[in-house]
Structure 1
């Protein structure tokens, strides 16, 4: 079986392990069991009709005496590109709008309050090619672009916050950014968050297209909670998650586009660890499929030139501050993951573990300020 045919770790475990062992293995791998969410029959039928996976889970929090529950639902959407990479650009964008529109409609049937799409969702992940044309033509205005207008209509129609990661063209300076546009359930553009960390791996270097973002660690106050967007490669940097949390994020979304050979062993760990360390929920989203390009390119690994970057392995999931996480979506299929969470769990776990209260932030800040200076001397004691 090839990597792109392996459906999911969870399916493999459930197929081959006896029930008693399966329960214990899941507890160790995934933490406290997340209960399945009962989803409307119309949503299940629509997902089947449109050929995408639909899963639902819920995280529970303890009932408090002074605070009512703060239950909300998030939706994570993963998908493959619809048309070949050499199809006309507008056709590709419109096809993606149509596909995601179908999936958001099902999310609305499931009562989703906040939906997040994958990194640069309207286009192939063409940055591996290092070609500028025609890929930069996919770039749009974050405030007035066709995709933002499309998402505004979805947000108003379904009373849903929409997180839309796009390739942004900033007209004022004619520059490109990897940007997540956050649209309120009112339909207004609440703001945008640009990718803080740019991968430089072998000869794969996205700074060919855009540089590190300049929006810092912005958190957006929505009707359904305070959210942040840590785009793709930023998940490898613990301090990046931490700074969103320090600014008050209750849910941090991580829209990504990453392939198996590069990062899959890290994938189940990083967002989950960030949820634990920062007393918040984290949502990891990855695309699926294999995207082929006309011109060959190399990947700086000594192998021959090839026409694709590799298999995007999906496996989108949500992690909670108590160390538990949902099962992931498929590694191969388009999918919608619906997750109900009670945001009160963040403070409940913070009160229990006190990671933020026991953090030595003043000391870290002082030592970091020294470490970034040219005359820095590590604090090493020698005999």
Structure 2
């Protein structure tokens, strides 16, 4: 079975592990068993008709005497591109608006309060090609572009916060390009934007040909449904990046991504989950699906022959909780919507139990990091 036809680890477990062992296997892999979210029949039918997977799970906290439950529903959308990569730019964008809009309709029917799309969701992930045209034509204004106007309509229609990662063109600063997540409030207004902090320079993923590290640092958005951060793609490999969103108060950190199996799949189930544990918050990992073919060949700087595609985007989007629990992932090969109901009280409950924030030696780390980045740094090594 090829990497691009293997559906999911979860389906393989269900098919091949004896029922008597399956529950214990899942407990070890995913933490405590999550209750499945009861989704409307109309939503299930719509997902079937529109050909995408739909799953829902509940992350519960213990009842408290003083605080009421703080429940919020998040929706994670993963999808393939719709048209060939050489179709006219505006047609590609419009087709993706239509496809993702259909999925947001279903998310709304499921009671989703915050929806997040995958990295650069309005375009092929063409940064591997190192070509400028036509890919830079997909760039839009974060504040008033075609896609942001589309998201504002969705947000207002459904009283839903929309996190929309796009290729941004910053006209105020000479048309500079950024990899940016636009956060649209449930009121329909642009709440703000968060730019990608870390840019990969790994083979095909040498994205500095298009944009450089962002300058918005670790913004956290105080929405009606909770405080959220957006850690775009490669930033998930940097533990301090997650930490700083948490330090700024994030209760949920979204990680919209575009990554292929050969490069990162063994890391994928671990990193966002580790971040949820270490930072006493929920994390939502989103990855696109499919294999994207480009007309012109390109090389990866790895000695291999030129090629037209650079691997299979393996989806597998999931949600992780601060207690180490995580949802099963969506399919590796199909479009999907994952709905998760989170009780944000779990963040403080876990923090009170494990005390990672309280026991962190941040003053010591800050002092040592400050020294470590100096040109005359001397490592703290004891020798005989």
Residue 187 of structure 2 aligns with which residue? 186
What do residues 304-325 of structure 1 show as CA deviations (whole Å, max 9, x unaligned)? 1100010000000000000000
Whole-Å separation in 2 of the counterparts to 1:168 and 1:368: 32
Give the Å deviation of 1:241. Answer: 0.1
Give the Å deviation of 1:301. Answer: 2.1
Whole-Å separation in 1 of the counterparts to 2:150 and 2:232: 21
Gaps of 5+ in 2: none
Give the Å deviation of 1:202. Answer: 3.1
- The aligned runs of 1:29-108 (5 Å cut-off) are 29-108=29-108
Over aligned residues, Cα RMSD in angstroms?
0.6
Secondary structure of the structure 2 residue equivalent to 1:348 = helix
Residue 346 of structure 1 aligns with which residue? 347
Residue 300 of structure 2 aligns with which residue? 299
Whole-Å separation in 2 of the counterparts to 1:32 and 1:357: 25
Secondary structure of the structure 1 residue equivalent to 2:63 = coil
Secondary structure of the structure 1 residue equivalent to 2:339 = strand
- The reply to whether residue 121 of structure 1 matches residue 127 of structure 2 is no
Residue 314 of structure 1 aligns with which residue? 315
Say whether the 8 Å CA contact 1:44–1:54 is kept in structure 2. yes
- The aligned runs of 1:245-256 (5 Å cut-off) are 245-256=246-257
Whole-Å separation in 2 of the counterparts to 1:257 and 1:205: 13
Secondary structure of the structure 1 residue equivalent to 2:167 = strand
Secondary structure of the structure 2 residue equivalent to 1:326 = coil
Residue 378 of structure 1 aligns with which residue? 379
What do residues 209-244 of structure 1 show as CA deviations (whole Å, max 9, x unaligned)? 000000000000000000000000000000000000
Whole-Å separation in 2 of the counterparts to 1:30 and 1:301: 35
Give the Å deviation of 1:162. Answer: 0.1
Say whether the 8 Å CA contact 2:59–2:341 is kept in structure 1. yes
- The aligned runs of 1:21-36 (5 Å cut-off) are 21-36=21-36
Give the Å deviation of 1:20. Answer: 2.1
Give the Å deviation of 1:144. Answer: 0.4
Say whether the 8 Å CA contact 2:129–2:204 is kept in structure 1. no
Residue 136 of structure 2 aligns with which residue? 136
Secondary structure of the structure 2 residue equivalent to 1:277 = helix
Secondary structure of the structure 2 residue equivalent to 1:289 = strand
4+ residue runs of structure 1 moved beyond 3 angstroms?
none
Whole-Å separation in 2 of the counterparts to 1:78 and 1:202: 24
What do residues 168-224 of structure 1 show as CA deviations (whole Å, max 9, x unaligned)? 000012100000000000000000000000001136310100000000000000000
Normalising by structure 1, we get a TM-score of 0.99
Say whether the 8 Å CA contact 1:275–1:319 is kept in structure 2. yes
- Which 10-residue stretch deviates more, 290-299 or 196-205? 196-205
Secondary structure of the structure 1 residue equivalent to 2:296 = strand
Whole-Å separation in 1 of the counterparts to 2:134 and 2:328: 37
Whole-Å separation in 1 of the counterparts to 2:347 and 2:132: 43
Whole-Å separation in 2 of the counterparts to 1:203 and 1:227: 30
Residue 220 of structure 1 aligns with which residue? 221
What do residues 29-70 of structure 1 show as CA deviations (whole Å, max 9, x unaligned)? 111111110000000000001000000001010000000000
Secondary structure of the structure 2 residue equivalent to 1:179 = strand
Give the Å deviation of 1:300. Answer: 2.0
- The aligned runs of 1:267-286 (5 Å cut-off) are 267-286=268-287
Residue 258 of structure 1 aligns with which residue? 259
Normalising by structure 2, we get a TM-score of 0.99
Give the Å deviation of 1:25. Answer: 1.0
Whole-Å separation in 2 of the counterparts to 1:203 and 1:84: 20
Residue-pair matches, total: 383
